[in-house]
Amino acid sequence: SAQGSVGEQVDHKIIGIDPGAGLMKATEKAIKDYGLQGWELVEGSSAAMTAELTQAYKDKKPIIVTGWTPHWMFSKFEMKYLEDPKGAYGKDEQIHTIVRKGLKEDQPSAYAFLDKFEWKPEDMEKVMLDIADGKKPEEAAAQWVKNNEETVNKWVEGIQPAEGKKLTLAYVAWDSEIASTNVVKAVLEQKLKYQVELSQVEAGPMWVGVSNGDVDGMVAAWLPTTHEDYFKKLGENVEDLGPNLNGTKLGLAVPTYMNVNSIEDLKK
Ligand code: PBE
């Protein structure tokens, strides 16, 4: 077309996120598997990526981002994943809750709730969307807890409040994990009377922190694929409480106004 190839339109750039994200590793793999020589994966952050996407979308400009589900970008914008016939991004997986060894004995109430915590993609999306629309994460989380009293009460049923005990949760500033971690904090504080501190770190330090006991836990482990490397290295030293969310997806995402459907088309 008059605009040239998709590569020319976007200056052969894929807008990525933080380098510790499994999504970045998967995208490096996609670049290799699909033979996208000359393409650059731009490092940044979850927030920088969505800021760039928001601006491009407003201007109806072409852009390719590293995307994932659950994410508010798919409700605020008309977006599509590029087909991935080679399976570079792996299959659908789960988000797991991971805690430090010994938490069960030291903090049985927190442990019992974290073990029980499980919600749906649409729950997480609701909180993410409120934050994207300008609510503070704590406010969006408190609102969700208020609107979902029945679900929340089931999570904490029969668990003894901890009366001011301290707990630290690690997370990465990914939009999905900002949402989940703040909801878990709200429940621990409101329902179980914990004093929760959130530690915002990169993906590597998040895993290391739980494995060496510096933090008590996290709800941000994407397994078995996205955080496979971290789990292989540190999985022995943590306790995996299993999935807290089912129904994820990773890939390259573009606005639907772009005339491209598959990662294979980026070669042209
Ligand atoms: N993400 C969101 C993370 C996990 C949560 C898909 C950007 C990643 O490690 O890629």
Q: In this structure, are 77 and 126 located in the same domain?
A: no
Q: In this structure, are 24 and 41 located in the same domain?
A: yes
Ligand 1 near 73 CB (within 6 A): no
Q: In this structure, are 187 and 79 located in the same domain?
A: no
**pLDDT at residue 163 in the model:** 87
CA 250 to centroid of ligand 1, rounded, Å: 8
CA 105 to centroid of ligand 1, rounded, Å: 30
For the chain, the domain total comes to 2
ipTM comes to: 0.97
Residue 61: inside a domain? yes
Ligand 1 near 203 CB (within 6 A): yes
What's the domain range around 25? 6-91+249-267
Q: In this structure, are 124 and 14 located in the same domain?
A: no
* Index of the ligand 1 atom closest to the CA of residue 23: 10
**pLDDT at residue 4 in the model:** 87
The pLDDT tens digits for 194-229 are: 999 999 999 999 999 999 999 999 999 999 999 999
pTM above 0.90, yes or no: yes
Low-confidence ranges of the chain (pLDDT < 70): 1-2
Residue 1: inside a domain? no
Residue pair 237/111 in contact (Cβ under 8 Å)? The answer is: no
> Residue 80 belongs to a domain with what CATH number?
3.40.190.100
Residue pair 74/256 in contact (Cβ under 8 Å)? The answer is: no
CA 22 to centroid of ligand 1, rounded, Å: 6
Q: In this structure, are 99 and 195 located in the same domain?
A: yes
Q: In this structure, are 101 and 34 located in the same domain?
A: no
